[in-house]
Amino acid sequence: MEKIKNIFNWEPDRSLYPEKDENGNLIVDLSSQKFTKVWHGPNHPGTTGNMAIELTLSGDEVVEAKTHVGYLHRGFEKLMERRLYIQCFPTCVRMCVAEPDYNEYLLARSVEELDNLEIPETAKWLRTLVLEMARLQTLLRTVPGQAGTLSLGMGVQWGVYLRDLVLDLFEELTGGRVYHMYIIPGGVRGLLPDGFKKRMEDVLLKIEDFIVRIDNLIFKNILFKKRTIGIGHIPAEWIDKYGVVGPNARAAGFKRDVRKDYPYLVYDQLDFDIATLTDSDVYARSLIRRQDLITTIDLIRQIMAKMPNDGDIKSPTPNVLHWKIPKGEVYVRSESSRGEYGFYTVSDGSEYPRRINLRGPSYTHAVVLLEKLLINANIADVHSIMVSLQTCPPEIER
Amino acid sequence: MALKDILTPFTAWTNVFKPVVTIKDPFNDRPGAERYRGFHFNDTSKCIGCGSCEAICENEAIDLVPVEGIETKDGDSGLRPRVDYGRCCWCALCVDVCTTASLRLTNEYTWVTENPEDLRYTPGVDVKPWDNNELGWKKPEPNYHFFGQKRVSMPELHPEQRDKSFIEIVKGYSKEQAILEADRCVECGICIATCPAHMGIPDYIRAIREDNIEEGFKILYDTNPLPEICGRICTHKCETVCSVGNLGEALSIRWLKRYIADQVESEDYKRILQSDGIANNGKKVAVVGSGPAGLSAAHYLALMGYSVTIYEQFSQSGGMMRYGIPEYRLPYDQIDKDVNYILSLGVKIIYNTNVGKDISLSELKSKYDAVFAGTGLHLGRSTRIPGTDHKHVYQSIDLLNKITEGKEIHVAENIVVIGGGNVAMDITRSLARLQNIKYGKVSIIATSLEDENSMPADREEVVEAREEMATINPGWGPKEILIEDGNIKGLRVVKCLSIFDEEGRFNPKFDESNTNFFKADMIVESIGQGMDIEYISEDIKKDLEINNRGRIVVDELFQSGAKWLFIGGDIIQGPDVIHGIANGHKAAVGIDKYLNTNI
């Protein structure tokens, strides 16, 4: 029996390698031929987009990690400097494929803040709804996706199916499935279609059933626990140091959420709590996202119950073909499923933005944090840790 | 780690007993949602080719292209959008901005073609399987607009403030109002083609938006040397074709033009227009008549270095603009502002000189290198119904002349005006004011053959006339002026059923059983004006070509059969200030060409 137990708890002896100097620092000498260079990506099924991690391995242990980006660069921030504000609206959505709506919202909010424009009440509720729906469809992929990185693909398939049902609702409301292009400077582009609330409720019920199923499949799974508990631990002191936000910070005990800390749209009229944990490992971050999924379902139900059914959807704006935004600069933020997501917009008073800079969580998470987090990790856990940070390479390169 | 963590994941096997959720054949089983942004369709009969879709497309996926079977005409560029699906991102901004709501996206989203060229097509012209799909993205409702739909209303004098005076009614836009109105322009340029003078309308509207009045002023003078006048009384054909007017209210282009002209002081004209120090080329041109055509020709000739002398029969310049249009619409100081600038270029006006009586056209021919005649339509037309020879039956144009000159005119207590055009409204409203001054009340009826909806007068003229207590009673044909004991008693009219016959000729039909009687002591006829070309002597006339409608034939640069004589304005194109200005400009080019090449 003791023998069997030892098989489960076996750990390799890591006292000899990698070599350390008298101060405990690693000695990484590639010419010694004791190290292996491995490129994790850019085209790797475990990555969530074209991004590479250059790993230096000692045996199966990562001793150095370097994130390489540049495979997805389409220059959206620069492209927007050559476009009218209204033309930025279909352009900016591509900065994050998984959650395009936050880009739409932040562009619209930047324009509205700079031009001192109020939007109709109905539009505020619809914007909140769409942002929560965006969170919902992302989490439906991300929560089971964590198990997917460990080759448990069944939950991913369930999630992708349910995400498609949410995309059907997006299609009804916005006319698009992936790039919704719904939140426009001044308001939104349509009221809820007839019967939408009923269909939304049907989907939410299915998602609640799905949560029970993935609890059984993933969160109560010994293999998942073994591969995630204690793995990818982010110390609490790194949170502020490396600009960690969203579920990654909440899993380390930091109760931070833009929706609560700097309420926007109608979040101050909604009743919800922010979940936190303290373990700060891959498992804790997965659990936080699972909790976010439940919170989002609850928020959507509240929005559906409280929102006005009609009213103006867009405030009158200047002619969009030559809308000059007053000179100034503004930082607007929202809470995406990955954490604080903000646009820093500078206007020189012309029809074109002088600069739009995206502050995306993936930049700090996947470039700054990930390089530190992977040190001493096992190569088999590399993409599990990366996915647990919910990195979105398109958002790093914009 | 508990045993249940080993066993619980196996509950996933229960899914084996659940129905499958995938669709077997997604191509047939699943139509796009009602709002889906699929492939484009354009209702080409509604589309006017304004190009707003092309302007807003961030990927330059839309090009406006000529289409077989669609001709360029007023209010329609004749072009239609072609979409390149190599670039399109289906954002549907083109649909939302469409000025006619002709463009939409259907809910069709699958299309397989072998030829990549097919993916660049003209929606609505190139037939596609989804053309009849009713579902798909349309312009959202309600109150969803990309530019202002309502005009910025023009501040005006209240009827009670204006009904006893000839003070200008329209006050003009403030800077804020003008910029707000200018903001609505989509810069399609459809107005440019329709404006007889082809003014750079979107360009000067942009100058207003950018608060660059001097730039706007220069653009005005490129094609129109009478902006103060045109900014008040132009027939604004541009506004009737304005693409914004298709779903909302057309831009107030005329008032915007006036706004620019109003902002510039007379003493700044030469500096802004850089018209000092024009070298004289030693050639002389005579202009007959100082109306819009004559002034326009004189202006552009002077800029080319010609010595220009205008011969004017009245004591003041402006022609019909001063002697036909009442001061409450066009104040005389504004005419002077425009004319004085033209005079400052070296143009001379010889007043009180009637060509044909005081000096002959042949004499002008011998003294000048070329002559431009813009003599206008100054002869009133009569209905010739019984009673029109009575001394209290007047021609509107004669009365308007006298009002301008400050002469005393007969104003009766009850007046009937025959006519439904702008001149009829001018005399009606002028006489209403005079009645108000003289009797303290208004009793004037304007009647016309045309019914309310087809009256040729501008709608605002009719509305304002009614505000000033004049009665407009259209749709009647005058039959007889009733005279008893030498005094006019009134006008007998019958209901007019139609004006033109099937071939479009003037041939009014009446319902003789439906009669009416308008009580009056004085009748004014205002049914149009005719031209007087008596000043053209027979030896010159023999060189001219006169068409079957009695009009002189000129070429596109307004050169007549007599090569030295250029004719333009109302006598060629009918009564319209902006046509006169355009004619004068073209004639100036023609005269320059004639004098330099002798063709």
pLDDT tens digit sequence for A133-168:
999 999 999 999 999 999 898 999 999 999 999 999
CB-based contact B206 A322, cutoff 8 Å: yes
pLDDT at position B551: 83
**Residues B295 and B311 sit within 8 Å (Cβ to Cβ):** no
**Is a pLDDT exceeding 80 seen at residue A16?**
no
In 3D, which of B355, B290, B288 has the Cα closest to residue B317? B290
pLDDT at position A372: 93
How confident is the model over B5-25, as a mean pLDDT? Answer: 86
Could you tell me which residue, A89 or B549, shows the higher pLDDT? A89
pLDDT classification of A184: cutoffs 50, 70, 90 = very high
How confident is the model over B223-228, as a mean pLDDT? Answer: 95
CATH of B167-271, one of 3.30.70.100, 3.40.50.720, 1.10.1060.10, 3.60.15.10: 1.10.1060.10
**Residues B480 and B494 sit within 8 Å (Cβ to Cβ):** no
CB-based contact A313 B4, cutoff 8 Å: no
Q: Is B30 on the interface with A (CB under 8 A)?
A: no
What are the sequence ranges of the domains in chain B?
30-121, 167-271, 279-378+562-597, 379-528
Q: Is B576 on the interface with A (CB under 8 A)?
A: no
pLDDT at position B143: 84
pLDDT at position A394: 86
How confident is the model over A99-123, as a mean pLDDT? Answer: 95
pLDDT classification of A45: cutoffs 50, 70, 90 = low
pLDDT at position A3: 76
CB-based contact B58 A87, cutoff 8 Å: yes
Residues 338-377 (A) with a CB less than 8 A from some CB of B: none
pLDDT classification of B505: cutoffs 50, 70, 90 = confident
**What value of ipTM does the predicted structure carry?**
0.91
How confident is the model over B62-88, as a mean pLDDT? Answer: 94
If you classify domain B279-378+562-597 with CATH, what class do you get?
Answer: alpha beta
CA distance B466 to A15: 103
CB-based contact A176 B9, cutoff 8 Å: no
In 3D, which of A91, A116, A122 has the Cα closest to residue A104? A91
Residue of A nearest to B147 (CA): A319
Domain pair B30-121 / B279-378+562-597, same fold:
no
3-state DSSP assignment of residue A85: helix
Residue of B nearest to A94 (CA): B89
For residue A362, the distance in angstroms to the closest alpha carbon of chain B comes to: 26
Residue of A nearest to B105 (CA): A175
A42 preceded by a cis bond (ω within 30 of 0): yes
The mean predicted confidence, pLDDT, of chain A is: 92
Chain B residues near residue A312 by CB distance under 8 angstroms: 142-143
Residue of A nearest to B12 (CA): A217
pLDDT classification of A17: cutoffs 50, 70, 90 = confident
3-state DSSP assignment of residue B252: coil
Phi-psi category of residue A308: left, alpha or beta, with phi > 0 → left and psi -120 to 50 → alpha: beta
Return the residue matching tokens 């040190």. A375
Residue of A nearest to B145 (CA): A316
How confident is the model over A266-275, as a mean pLDDT? Answer: 95
pLDDT classification of B1: cutoffs 50, 70, 90 = low
Chain A residues near residue B147 by CB distance under 8 angstroms: 318-321
pLDDT at position B597: 83
pLDDT at position B162: 87
For residue A216, the distance in angstroms to the closest alpha carbon of chain B comes to: 5
CB-based contact A313 B143, cutoff 8 Å: yes
pLDDT at position A29: 84
For residue B240, the distance in angstroms to the closest alpha carbon of chain A comes to: 20
- Other Cβ atoms closer than 10 A to B274: 9
Q: pLDDT for B238-282, tens place per residue?
A: 999 999 999 999 999 999 999 999 999 999 999 999 988 888 999
Q: Is B26 on the interface with A (CB under 8 A)?
A: no
Domains and CATH numbers, chain A: 76-396 (1.10.645.10)
pLDDT at position A395: 87
First-to-final CA distance of chain A: 56
Residues 435-474 (B) with a CB less than 8 A from some CB of A: none
pLDDT classification of B179: cutoffs 50, 70, 90 = very high
pLDDT at position B381: 86
Contacts with B115 (C-beta within 8 Å, 6 or more apart), sequence order? none
For residue B565, the distance in angstroms to the closest alpha carbon of chain A comes to: 47
Q: pLDDT for B458-495, tens place per residue?
A: 888 999 999 999 999 999 999 999 999 989 999 999 99
**Is a pLDDT exceeding 70 seen at residue B203?**
yes
CA distance B126 to B41: 10
How confident is the model over B216-221, as a mean pLDDT? Answer: 96
Fold for the domain defined by B379-528: FAD/NAD(P)-binding domain (3.50.50)
CA distance B589 to B559: 10
CB-based contact B146 A322, cutoff 8 Å: no
CB-based contact A226 B1, cutoff 8 Å: yes
List beta partners, residue B350.
B311
Residues 126-185 (B) with a CB less than 8 A from some CB of A: 137, 140, 142-148, 183-185
For residue A158, the distance in angstroms to the closest alpha carbon of chain B comes to: 10
Which CB contacts under 8 angstroms, 24+ apart, belong to B536-542?
A: B536/B356, B536/B361, B536/B373, B537/B360, B537/B361, B537/B362, B539/B362, B540/B361, B540/B362, B540/B365, B540/B565
The mean predicted confidence, pLDDT, of chain B is: 92
Q: What are the C-alpha distances in Å from B85 to residues B20, B40, B59, B583?
A: 35, 10, 10, 46
Q: Is B599 on the interface with A (CB under 8 A)?
A: no
Q: pLDDT for B279-300, tens place per residue?
A: 899 999 999 999 999 999 999 9
CATH number of B30-121: 3.30.70.3270
pLDDT classification of A44: cutoffs 50, 70, 90 = low
